[in-house]
Amino acid sequence: MEFKISSGELSSLLQSIAKIVPLNSTLPILSHFLFEIENGSLHVTASDQSLRISGVLPLLSSEGNCSFTVRPKDVIDYIKNLPEQPLSFSYSQENSSVSVAFDGGYFKFVCSDASLYPRKLAPVSLQQKQAEEEPVLHNATLTVDTLRHALDASLPAVATDEKRPVLTGVCMDFIPEGLTFVATNGFILTKMCDLKTQAVPAKEEHQRIVLPPKTANFLRGFLPRYAGEPVHITYTQSKAVFSLGSVEISTLLLAGRFPNYASIIPSESPHQVHIDGKRFTNVIKRIYTFLAEDKSVVKLQFTEQGIVISSGLFGEEKMAQESFPCEVPDNLRMTIAFGTHDLVQILSCMGESDLVFHLADQTRPLLVKPSDLEEGKDLLGLIVPKTLSA
């Protein structure tokens, strides 16, 4: 069986999906790509049992249909260093081998039986096993840029503590007003709402799914190559499918109930402070880098001249203080403290635009919002303050 394909197209696809191929797995076959030649197209699949990616490429020519699996290193390392040209693949089922001919040479490697490769994502719970053919709950379409922006804003706020797995992921809340992305680790929270996406019909109840961190991080890195294109999302109770271009990404979802985030976001804050977001972020990052301690606390003292930013390490003669000029309301004179790392994470979600701080007092969360957002988008960050020592 022989087929021809563009070296550049194949190399690009293989390199983009190779990141999810596990180095070690209870199923050794998952350390391979699945190649399927069918009706003049090549389907390439990579999977780690919880995340599965399939891409389709047109063939220049083919003699029939076949399927086999190959180790990523055997094919990627050689092809990525070749100039753009047609590659002639010759597959021998009898010898379990593949030969790839190109202008001036060839290389050859062994392959494995495609029948050993799983055709579905592996259920990780009894509930998922019982619902392998569960019905589609809903679908939605948004742009690649919107999805990437939402993941950029969400991932810094996810938890790393596996004791509450649902908090390690990104919640996608499908509501009549739009599609909302939320992440929280219990100390900080980010929420971005895309008001342009018709998530669910107005009369239907909202649906909520939680993407695993591996899926969310993969999507964030994978999406830029499809900038400007639409992403179609379909989901069931335990699985979601993202379709863009000729690629389909399937993922199991995190089980568990995501917190009622709306109940902890203040509806009103009496004080608002407008600041230069880029300059303020640079100050906080400078102090955080200097202290080099994740558990450090930064204090913000609101004065007539602006904000005095200070931090130090207990038991060490190491501290930093900077004055940040800005306009502070006359009735706002207080000091509030936050985990320095938490504040850095929240600010990293906001981009480089000017920001508005919404405050009540030293004990209630600080809301951070960009002062200028694209029409149809809503973004906020929330950070819980630390108790100030007497």
> pLDDT (tens digit, 9 = 90+) per residue, 299-353?
999 999 999 999 988 767 889 999 999 999 999 999 999 999 999 999 999 987 8
pLDDT given at position 323: 97
The residue with tokens 């509030």 is: 336
CA distance 75 to 3: 15
CA distance 236 to 218: 20
pLDDT given at position 10: 97
CB 87 within 8 A of CB 79: yes
More confident residue, 200 or 74: 74
For residues 263-267, average pLDDT? 89
Q: What is 36-97 written as a DSSP string? A: EEETTEEEEEEE-SSEEEEEEEE-SEESS-EEEEE-HHHHHHHHTTSPS-EEEEEEETTTTE
Question: At residue 289, what is the residue type?
Answer: T
Of 56, 55, 34, 35, the closest CA to residue 222 belongs to 55
pLDDT digit string (tens) for 178-231?
889 999 999 999 999 988 776 555 455 668 899 999 999 999 999 998 988 999
Tokens of 126: 């009894």
pTM of the predicted protein model: 0.89
Of 19, 16, 33, the closest CA to residue 80 belongs to 16
For residues 249-265, average pLDDT? 93
What string of H, E and C letters represents the secondary structure of 116-179?
HCCCCCCCCCHHHHHCCCCCCCEEEEEEHHHHHHHHHHHHHHCCCCCCCHHHHCEEEEEECCEE
Q: How many CA atoms lie within 13 A of 345 on its CB side?
A: 22
Going by the DSSP 8-state scheme, the letter that residue 112 receives in this structure is B
First to last CA, the chain: 78
CA distance 138 to 235: 6
For residues 287-301, average pLDDT? 92
pLDDT digit string (tens) for 356-373?
999 999 999 999 999 988
Strands 366-370 vs 178-184: parallel, antiparallel or unpaired: unpaired
pLDDT digit string (tens) for 154-163?
999 999 988 8
For residues 148-172, average pLDDT? 94
- Torsion angle (degrees, nearest 10) of CA 4, 40, 99, 86: 10
Domains of the chain: 2-116 (3.10.150.10), 126-262 (3.10.150.10), 266-383 (3.10.150.10)
pLDDT given at position 127: 47
Enumerate residues 6+ apart whose C-beta is below 8 A from 86: 4, 5, 6, 7, 60, 102
3-state secondary structure of 305: coil
